[in-house]
Amino acid sequence: MNFNELGLAEPILRAVREQGYETPTPIQRQAIPAVLNGGDLMAGAQTGTGKTAGFVLPMLQRLSSQPVLRDARGRIAIRCLILTPTRELAAQVEESVRTYGRHLRLKSMVMFGGVGMQPQIDKLGRGVDILVATPGRLLDHHGQRTLDLSHVQVFVLDEADRMLDMGFIHDIKKVLAILPQKKQSLLFSATFSDEIKALADRLLNQPALIEVARRNAPAELVAQKVHPVGRERKKDLLAHLILQGDWHQVLVFTRTKHGANKLTEFLNKCDITAMAIHGNKSQSARTKALAEFKSGELRVLVATDIAARGIDIDQLPHVVNFEIPNVPEDYVHRIGRTGRAGSTGEAISLVCVDEELFLRDIQRLIHKEIAREVVKGFEPDPNERAEPIVLGRMTIGVGGNRRGGNGGRPSRPSQGRAQPARASHPAPGTHATRDARTPPGQRSAQPPQRGARPGGDSHGGPGGARPHRGGRGR
C-alpha cells in the first residue's frame, strides 16, 4: 500500500512526497482511514511508528475539505485542538502540521508555557484553524479569555500515557469541560494501562481501536547489549567504545542533570564533542545542541529522560544507557530512539553492581534477558559491592528500598530527577512531574517542584518534525 490509496487529497500527498515518503507505516495505514471516517479513535503505538502523521494527515484532509469557520469576533475559529504533554512535543507536532499542510490554506500555531503570552495572544487574534498546546498554557489563555474553543471539531490527546504520568489528569478534565460535546476525539498512547482505558471511557464514544505494538515492547530492530563495568570506570568505557568503534551520533542517557553535565565535560576532555540537554538548559541551548547533533556536527548528545523522549532523528545508530533508568518503562522509551524507520540500531547499557536490580526489573518488563558482554580491559571488580543510589533527595537502597527525607517517605523528585523504582506502570498523579514555571534559561532559587518529562513523538515515516525541547511551564 502507498499513500495514494488512503484517500488523501493531492496537496497533502504532494507534501508527503516532498518529505520523501511513499509507504505508510502500520499505524498510519489503520489510523488514517479511521480518522477520515469521522469516528473516535483509540490508538496505541510505541515510539518510532509514525503516529503523528496518523492523525495529522487525515485531520488536514478533513479541515481543508470544509469552508473556513469564523467565531463570534469574526476571527478564523479553532477547529482542531491537539493537546500534548510538553513544549518539545507541541513544537514537533505543530511543525508536522505546517510541513504536511504547506499546500493548504490552513493556519496553525503552537502554544506552551515558559515564554511570554502576548505573542501567543497576538497570533490567536489573527485567527487559527489548528492549535497545538500544552495543558497549562491552554488553561491560562482560557482563564484570560484570549481564545475560543467552542468551535473545536477535532480533539487529539497525544501521548496520553505521559499526560497521566505527569499528573495532568485534572487539567485534561478541565479542558474536556471546555470543549464542545459533539466532536471527533482521538487518543494516542504508547501503552494501554487501566488508567488510559478509564480516560478513554470518559473521552471517547464507541471508538475504533488500533494497537500496532505489543505493550511495553522495545523496538524489534534494536540490538540490545549490557556491558558490566565498575561504577568508577563507566566514563572510560564509554569513551573507549566511542573512539574504538568510531561511533557518531551517539545519544547517551544519564539519570540526573548533574550527571549529564559531568559526563559531557569528561567526553570533551577526551576530544569527543559532546553537549548536554536537560531541564536547566535554556531553550536556545537545547535547540542548538539538537540541531548540531542531528546534522552530525556534534558526536555525542548527553540527555536526561526529561529532555530526550522527543528527540526525532532518523536512523540514529547508537543509544547508550550510561546509567540505566530506575523506571523500567523509561528503558523502552530510551532505546526507542534508535531502530526506527526500518533501520537497525544498537542500544548499549553500562551496568555496574549498583544497578543490577534495575536491570532485573527491565528484563522482567520486556520479557527478555539482555545479552551481557564484558569489554576486555574493563572487567568489573568481583569484590565490588552494591551501594545505594542517590536520586536527588531520594536514596534507593541496595535491596530496592527507598528512603526520603519526608518522615520516612520518599521525597518528591524535582525536575530532571528520576523517580522511585517500581515494577509496574505508574499510576497517574503519583509523582510531581508537571513542568516548572521558571522560563527556559532562568534558574529558580530553589529546585522546581514540578518537572516535565517529555513524551515527544518519533516516526518511522512521516509524522515527526524537527527536534525542539520544552516543558509545560506557564
Cβ atoms of residues 123 and 192 within 8 Å: no
Co-location of 191 and 255 in the same domain: no
Query: Do 252 and 346 belong together in one domain?
Result: yes
Tell me the average pLDDT across 105-132. 93
* 462 located within any domain: no
pLDDT tens string 216-261: 555 566 789 999 999 999 999 999 999 999 998 899 999 888 999 9
- pTM (2 d.p.): 0.58
Residues spanned by the domain of 339: 222-404
Q: Are residues 253 and 186 in the same domain?
A: no
**Mean pLDDT, the chain, integer:** 79
3-state secondary structure 7-50: CCCHHHHHHHHHCCCCCCCHHHHHHHHHHHCCCCEEEECCCCCC
pLDDT tier, 387 (very low <50, low <70, confident <90, very high otherwise):
confident
Buried/exposed code over 419-429 (b: 16+ C-beta within 10 A; e: otherwise): bbbbeebbebb
pLDDT of residue 219: 55
User: Computed from CA positions of residues 272, 307, 58, 332, in that sequence, does the dihedral angle turn out positive or negative?
Assistant: positive
If asked whether residues 375 and 251 sit together in one domain, one would say yes
- Residue 463 has which C-alpha cell? 509524522
Same domain, 53 and 129: yes
pLDDT confidence bin for 265, thresholds 50/70/90? very high
* Domain end marker among 388, 404, 420: 404
**pLDDT per position as a tens digit, 390-433:** 665 455 655 444 444 333 333 333 333 333 333 333 333 333 33
Residue 120 shares a structural domain with residue 246: no
Question: What's the CATH code of the domain at 348?
Answer: 3.40.50.300
pLDDT tops 50 at residue 453: no
- Do 200 and 310 belong together in one domain? no
Are 442 and 405 spatial neighbours (Cβ–Cβ below 8 Å)? Answer: no
Q: Does residue 12 lie within any of the structural domains?
A: yes
Reply yes or no on whether the pLDDT at 324 is more than 70: yes
Are 199 and 112 within one domain? Answer: yes
Task: Give the pLDDT mean for 160-184.
Answer: 90
Task: Identify whether residues 234 and 159 lie together within a single domain.
Answer: no
% pLDDT > 90, the chain? 45
Higher pLDDT, 1 or 321: 321
Count up the domains in the chain and report the number: 2
In a 10 Å sphere around its CB, with 0-12 CB exposed, 13-18 middle and 19+ buried, how is residue 170 labelled? exposed
Q: For 366-379, what is each residue's pLDDT tens digit?
A: 888 999 999 999 99
